[in-house]
Amino acid sequence: MAGVSKDRISDISCNYLKSFLIDYTIEQCEAHRIPTQIVSLDSVYNYRSNSFDRHVKVRLPVNPHNGEPLIFTPKRWLRFSPWINFEDYFKTACPRDEIFNPDEPVDRVKVLQYNRDNYDAVERYIQLKDKTAADCRNDPLFSQIPVLSARRKLAELLKLPSGKNDGADAKYESICTELMATLLYPHLDFAQAQSRTESGRHIRDLIFYNNRSIDFLDEIFTDYGNRQLVFEMKNVAKIDADHLNQLNRYLQIGIGNFGIFLTRHPLPSAMYKNTVDLWSSQRKCMIAVTDPDVQLMVDVYESKQRTPIEVLKKKYVEFRRSCPS
């Protein structure tokens, strides 16, 4: 369906595993102090009676906008695509010659209509997938780019001029998004590039979910309240006061009090002093990750002796040492 994201776990699986998922959700809510309330679920599969129990009352978190109950799924269960899915069927088993005329544009609706009238085609596909079930392996939502590709991306980044000429800013943002998503995974996950406009300026951010998997990230959550980390990408020759003010205002809307500039050069001394003053007065922390830092992250990624996120930790420790105790 247009505009609707693909399933990461099948609906049928969720229905039959709902009892386990409810227990998992309750466990996570207790661990993370997520509020819950009594809700009624239409049906929950009972493996003892091999039937569905109706109108089951249970304590779950709810969507604050519509009050609908929420059930969590372990991330390790999620696949980029279910083992049986439309795209795979269309590429490997769909009899397209019987559905479309030569040079006719592909229309999903026609495929679905054909499947309804010729369900044996779908059954053959499912039988094939059953026979090859041993090939069903972990299919992660995100795959890191290889070291060689990271090196290539870094070379492209270092060749880019600062500024906007010839779309250099957009190229910088694109390269940084792909590099950071790979270099910081799995400690920072679910990278999402997003745009916003402030005072007529187009600003590009990279947002990561903070899973607090290492001491550094847990400290960022504890001291600054960051459930997410924002990287503000600036392909400029130097960061100025306007840039600091933009990120400072952005940190006021629920992101947390820790933010990162992804930029070409270290902050000018006056701007660095401003970030120290901001930390002293408001306990807000802004650090800058520059081209040499990204190069170091790629080196670490290649050597595998340490993790690239330790470069972020290094920058943070250096900043805190500059702050008054």
Percentage, residues of the chain above pLDDT 70: 88
C-alpha to C-alpha distance for 56 and 163, rounded to whole angstroms: 59
Q: pLDDT at position 232, please?
A: 92
Give the Å distances, CA to CA, from 209 to 188, 206, 266: 6, 10, 25
52 close to 16: Cβ distance less than 8 angstroms:
no
Pairing of strands 51-60, 228-234: unpaired
CB distance 10 to 81 below 8 Å: no
CA distances from residue 234 to 5, 205, 265 in whole angstroms, order as listed: 30, 9, 10
Considering the domain delimited by 147-322, tell me its CATH architecture: 3-Layer(aba) Sandwich (3.40)
Mean pLDDT of 150-162: 94
Q: pLDDT value at position 233? A: 93
Q: 1 pLDDT band (50/70/90 cuts)?
A: very low
pLDDT over 60 (residue 150): yes
**Alpha carbon distance 177, 205 (integer Å):** 9
CA-based end-to-end distance of the chain: 56
* 187-206 pLDDT per residue, tens: 888 777 776 655 666 666 88
As a whole number, mean pLDDT of residues 301-306 equals 90
| Residue 152 in tokens | 């290539």
- For residue 59, pLDDT beyond 60: yes
Q: Of 133, 131, 121, 17, which is closest to residue 83 (Cα–Cα)? A: 133
The pLDDT of residue 37 is 95
Token reading at 23? 């227990």
**What local confidence, expressed as pLDDT, does residue 244 receive?**
94
Contacts of 147 (CB under 8 A, 6+ apart): 301, 302
Residue 314: predicted pLDDT? 96
Q: Are 255 and 182 in contact (CB under 8 A)?
A: no
Reported as a single tens digit per residue, the pLDDT across 164-188 is: 999 999 999 999 999 998 899 888 8
Residue 178 neighbours by CB under 8 Å, 6+ apart: 145, 153
Edge-to-edge strands, sheet with 228-234: 188-198, 201-210, 228-234, 258-263, 285-289
| The predicted structure's pLDDT at residue 4 | 47
Comparing 1-5, 139-143, 236-240, 273-277, the range with the smallest average pLDDT is: 1-5
User: What average pLDDT does the structure give for the chain?
Assistant: 86
CB 241 within 8 A of CB 267: no
Average pLDDT over residues 69-90: 79
Q: What is the pLDDT of residue 249?
A: 86
CB of 269 closer than 8 Å to CB of 284: no
The pLDDT of residue 5 is: 52
What tokens were used for 85? 């899915």
Q: Where are the domains of the chain?
A: 11-77, 86-135, 147-322
What tens digit of pLDDT does each residue of 276-293 get? Answer: 999 999 999 999 999 999
Alpha helix (H) ranges present in 36-161? 86-92, 96-99, 108-117, 119-131, 147-159
Strand 201-210 versus strand 188-198 pairing type: antiparallel
Most confident region among 30-34, 105-109, 287-291 by mean pLDDT: 287-291
Helical H runs in the chain? 11-16, 18-32, 86-92, 96-99, 108-117, 119-131, 147-159, 168-183, 215-224, 241-250, 269-282, 291-303, 309-322
Give the whole-angstrom CA distance, residue 3 versus residue 1: 6
Q: What is the mean pLDDT of residues 8-22?
A: 80
